[in-house]
Structure 1
Amino acid sequence: MQVAIIGTGFMGVTHVEALRRLGVGIAGILGSTEAKSREAAETLGIGRAYKDFDDVLSDAAADAVHICVPNAFHYAYAKAALIAGKHVMCEKPLAMDSMQSAELVEVAKGKSLAAGVCYNLRYYPLNMQARAMVEGGDLGRLFHINGCYIQDWLLHESDYNWRLHSDIGGPLRVVADIGTHWMDMLSTITGLEIEAVFADMSTVYPTRKRPVGGSVTFSKKVDEAGEDVAIDTEDYASILLRFKGGVKASLYVSQVAAGQKNALRYEIYGAEKSVTWDGQRPNELWVGKRDEANNILIKDPTLMAPSAAAVASYPGGHAEGYPDTFKQCFRAFYDYIAAGDFSARPSFPTFDEGHREILLCEAILKSHQLERWVTV
């Protein structure tokens, strides 16, 4: 397999590194300009710098396309790549709205192509262990779920990024950017589907200072004075969720939580046991009990369920983290392609799941606007 990478920023580089660890070849890379394409190709040791997206589509050597560009481009690039007969792995969200994502689902149907969305965080080994425990009945009947996904990289008024603007990133920012990761993880772990939401959101800086010379995602605070720009996306959201079957959940997400660099957490409570996991300590799963001592499972494939051990590449005591989740997500994607049965149930996050997350975002936005429960 040979892959064309679209995007030269944080995500594009991350995808390149993960694919190389799997032995998947990189056919070429495309940046926002020809100069950026050439610079990235030289820096990353990639043989071809694409001139434009048409150059990508016409490259017979590129079997698949990884889309790692701002959200506003996802729909058009994914659709064109599928029509050109290329497999697609798209960064989330899949599209700007559910009309676009529904169309992409339809375009992907009936083709002998893989169409995936990069909800990679479900692939932490201990998330798969929690899933096996739920499926095996270890937790008993599920009662409720709590959690958060919080960051601080947009804490200051001068912090700036393209994701702040709805015309580029979509009408929701923190919910779509990181909240959907949490919802995907918990749906994957529990096997449950969210049926209704109640949301409240806030924007702490209605106006931000666009730094002189632009900014880089997760970069250090920029002190240069910049122009005032209006912000029309949320910095914080608290969401009540109801799953089919009656299980309740609460989630809060923020990108203005001082000191929280990338805190992704959940607590799942059942009649028999509970499990708690923190993405900043990803190799530990806390197991809570009432009538005996609690314990912490340290990631060790020999002590885990086979389905969880399958996404753990290293033995016990050897930590696995964020970059490994991309590797495991892409492994599932390319193993599926290699198997050649495109009627089989995919083991990677699909366009259908990406569409579902956009429907969730739209229900969350509607709930905030109407100040009431909204059915997904």
Structure 2
Amino acid sequence: MFQSRAAVVGTGFIGPVHIEGLLRAGVRVQGVLGTSPEKSQSIASRFGLPRAYTHYHELLEDPAVDVVHITSPNRFHFQQTVEALQAGKHVLCEKPLAMDSRESALLVEHAQKSGLKTGVNYNVRFYPLCIEAAEQVRRGELGDLFHVTGSYVQDWLHQPTDFNWRVLQSEGGALRAIADIGTHWLDLIQSISGQSVVAVCADLQTVFPTRTRPAGGTETFTSKLAAPKRDGIDVAIDTEDYGALLFRLESGARGSMHVSQVTAGHKNCIRFEMAGSKKSIAWNSQTPNELWVGHRSNPNSILPRDPSLLSDRAAQHAQYPGGHNEGFPDTFKQLFRSFYASIETPESPMHPTPSFEDGHREILLCEAIHQSAQEQRWIEVGSKCQ
């Protein structure tokens, strides 16, 4: 059980995921803040939390809160993070860290000056076999990296009647599919390879230029489950449903990736394959407990998520024996274990939590991707907005 106590801002899809992951990680959750007192109370009652806050300052003034988890819509991240740091609270923020690189650079500066622990929730890093892949690359087992391929695809926005605040630039930012799910893939690849993406060439597609906004809107991932709504208005869409990306890593290795939120049948599927001079590895989030290993002259193999077979660092984040599967909710638990250990045990050997610097770098990357798509040419990452 950790000594630090948390409060969560946001009661949409991801806020309750944070609360559940925190409780499973052994972190006491003091309370939650939603967009209304009713939403706050509903989630607090659901998880048995002591407090249902009515406004943000009430949460920040609570002396029992040590860490603020920000899971609100993107446009609120910057101001809420600044205020939490000014209140002396550690901060774990959902991605994106901010709406643009000017804001994210300021947050990096605020965090450094505060001396507080800060992190961004790129939870995909914390699948045990993704940590194992990073350890294998670090030990040189792949040899020289040739290239990386992969995708992140979903179908929750497959119909023009599917609507969510994320589809609007004013709410989520200039990019949607790339920023919402593509950044998870890009963070994962950079984390595993130990290299940054330095140049990009992108093509984006808005499949539905107009979507129907139902009365009251819909929460993320719930639109296809909810009863059809007859009332609604047509809204012009200014973000992409699909994106394709070519990129270069620091070493000169090449990569390609595509993302889609309109691919029927894929609810939430992340895939990557890395080709090296010694072997290749591949992983799929829909079978997260297997890492495929490819060889030229020997039989290919499957490495299962079994703590007894993994590196020490990966085994720390695989808490069940082999054959007892771990998945999406466990990645949050493992990231939170790492983050809270870093607060209470600064020399913790656990897999590092993505930092505000990582979050800032991802926003620079998104801005380069957006510029590349607009100008239809290669763009160097970080060549602007620094």
Partner of 1:166: 169
Q: Provide the C-alpha distance between the structure 2 equivalents of 1:224 and 1:4, rounded to a whole number of angstroms.
A: 34
Count of aligned residue pairs for this structure pair: 375
Instruction: Tell me what 2:235 maps to.
Output: 229
Cα offset, 1:79, TM superposition: 0.6
1:345, distance to aligned residue in structure 2 (A): 11
1:188-245 residue CA offsets vs partner (Å, 9 max, x unmatched): 1010111000000010111001123321221243532321011110000000010011
Residue 166 of structure 1 deviates from its aligned partner by: 0.7
1:33 pairs with 2:39? no
Q: What secondary structure is seen at the aligned counterpart in 1 of 2:370?
A: helix
2:184 match: 181
Once the two structures are superposed, what CA deviation does each residue of 1:311-369 show, in whole Å capped at 9, x if it has no partner?
Answer: 11111111010011001101110000002479x99921110000000000000000000
SS of equivalent to 1:110: helix
Partner secondary structure for residue 49 of structure 1: strand
1:320 to 2:326 alignment = yes
Query: Would you identify which runs of 4 or more consecutive aligned residues in structure 1 move more than 3 Å?
Result: none
Paired AA for residue 224 in structure 1: K
2:303 partner SS: strand
**2:159 paired residue number:** 156
Counterpart of 1:214 in structure 2 is 217
Helix, strand or coil at the partner of 2:372: helix
Out of 361, 364, 367, the residue aligned to residue 362 of structure 1 is 367
**1:111 to partner: Cα distance:** 2.5
Q: CA deviation at 1:36?
A: 1.4
1:199 aligns with 2:205: no
Distance 1:13 1:300 in 2: 28
Change (3 A) 1:76 1:346: farther
Shift of residue 121, structure 1, vs aligned partner: 0.5
Q: Give yes or no for contact 2:201–2:369 (8 Å, CA) kept in 1.
A: yes
User: Quick check: 1:243 aligned with 2:246?
Assistant: no
Counterpart-to-counterpart distance in 1, 2:185 and 2:305: 20
Distance 2:75 2:216 in 1: 22
How far, CA to CA, are the matches of 1:34 and 1:304 in structure 2? Answer: 46
- Which blocks of at least 5 consecutive residues in structure 1 are unaligned? none
Q: Superposed, which structure 2 residues align to 1:48-127 within 5 Å? A: 48-127=51-130
Farther-moved stretch of structure 1 (31-40 vs 352-361): 31-40
Which ranges of structure 2 fall in alignment gaps of 5 or more residues? 382-386
- Residue identity opposite 1:94 in structure 2: L
User: Which of these residues, 293, 303, 309, is aligned with residue 297 of structure 1?
Assistant: 303
Is residue 337 of structure 2 the alignment partner of residue 331 of structure 1? yes
Per the TM alignment, residue 132 of structure 1 is displaced from its structure 2 partner at its CA by 1.3
Please give the TM-score of this superposition, normalised by the length of structure 2.
0.95
Separation in structure 1 between the aligned mates of residue 203 and residue 350 of structure 2, nearest angstrom: 36
Specify the alignment match of 1:306 in structure 2: 312
CA RMSD of aligned residues (A): 1.5
Identity %: 52
